[in-house]
Structure 1
Amino acid sequence: MTKAAPDTRTVVVEREFAHPPEKLWRALTQPHLIAEWLMANDFVPAAGHRFKLKADWGVVDCQVTTVEPHRTLSYSWAALGLDSVVTWTLTPTAAGTHLRMEQTGFGPDQTRAYQGASYGWPKFFDGLEQTLARLD
């Protein structure tokens, strides 16, 4: 994994979910579930796979870089001049799973993108929680 440049910023969102890692993994890797809480997509959990996330404001071009089932998922995230990396880390806990999302690569001149991600990711986590609550 490459280190972010020293002048870049990172958005980190962490939350405890009362669900096992396997259930979160499904919501993070199955396209119809990703569409419920994040965006429409053509995701496949395979390293090297290129996919798009589609929203009303535009498209995010992505490529899967790391897939460790039920543990780690990482992909590039390129949109609106931002080239970043999103990494999901799932850690089993007594009550379920600790989920950490880290988006790295916000340059000093990308304050708007950084603020948007800082605002948006917690909302996506709320949607993820709702999706998980509906899953068997």
Structure 2
Amino acid sequence: MNANPQTHQTETDYASVVAPQTVRLQRLLPGPVERIWDYLTDSDLRRQWLAAGDMQAAEDSAFTLVWRNSELTDPPGHKPEGFGDEHRMDSTITVFEPPHRLAFTWGGGDVTFTLEPRGEQVLLTVTHRGISDRNNLLMIGAGWHQHLDTLVARASGLAPEPFWDGWTRLRAEYEHRIPA
């Protein structure tokens, strides 16, 4: 794993389509695992790389994710047309097993985060299921990729790439990587 993920992508940094309507991504992060768990579950830490939203530490609890992608990096980069300043999504926690597994609903699908210690590092695996079509596979693949690159930078004490510039670049790359 590169210390500066946005400048040197490796093949393993990209989302893989592992089943119909399902993508998986992995990242190595500086540990310990409890620290990375906090980046998944603490709203203030999560809003630095993905979306805010207070969640109760229990299965079957509802919460709302609030994205403000233009606030993730400074500068934010050039926001593509069709994106607003804020997006909200209601979710429900389906798995809460600290500090190793977290899953919650995501629209018509679900997302699972798995954390595995790897020496002083932590392997984060994100699996997103129930993606409706190829266009959403492209958008979600690029989105998770850029959000995870931002997490790697934040957890490593580095400045992340401008969010929208990275997402736009990755969206074009995923157009070629995910077959029609």
TM (normalized to structure 2)? 0.63
Give 1:14-33 correspondences, 5 Å limit.
14-33=26-45
Bigger radius of gyration, 1 or 2?
2
**Aligned counterparts of 1:112 and 1:45: Cα–Cα separation in 2:** 33
CA offset at residue 95 of structure 1? 3.6
1:88 matched to 2:113? The reply is yes
Does residue 1:37 correspond to 2:16, yes or no? Answer: no
Tell whether 2:109 aligns with 1:77.
no
Could you tell me which amino acid in structure 2 is paired with residue 59 of structure 1? R
Gaps of 5+ in 1: 1-6
Query: How far does residue 41 in structure 1 lie from its aligned partner after superposition?
Result: 1.5
User: Which string of whole-angstrom CA distances, capped at 9 and with x for unpartnered residues, describes residues 2-35 of structure 1?
Assistant: xxxxx84111110111221111001111011111
Shift in Å, 1:133: 2.9
- 2:112 is aligned with what amino acid? T
Partner of 1:124: 147
Residue of structure 1 equivalent to 2:122: 97
User: Which of residues 84, 95, 104 is equivalent to 1:66?
Assistant: 95
* Alignment match, 1:13: 25
Aligned to 2:135: 112
Identity of aligned residues (%): 28
CA deviation map 1:90-127 (0-9, x unaligned): 111124111100000123xx222211111011111112
Q: What TM-score do you get using the length of structure 1 for normalisation?
A: 0.82
Q: Identify unmatched segments of 5+ residues in structure 2.
A: 1-18, 68-84, 158-180
Q: After TM superposition, where is structure 1 displaced by more than 4 Å over at least 4 residues in a row?
A: none
Alpha-carbon contact 1:27-1:131 (below 8 Å) kept? no
RMSD: 1.6
Paired residues of 1:33 and 1:131 also in contact (CA < 8 A): no
Tell me if structure 1 keeps the 8 A contact 2:30–2:155.
no
When you count strand as a share of all residues, which structure comes out higher? 1
Contact in 1 for aligned 2:111/2:129 (Cα 8 Å): yes
Report the CA distance between 1:40 and its aligned residue.
2.4
Number of residue pairs matched? 122
Q: Distance in 2 between matches of 1:15 and 1:133?
A: 12
Write the distance in 2 (CA, Å) between the matches of 1:121 and 1:45: 23
Partners of 2:43 and 2:131 lie apart in 1 by 26
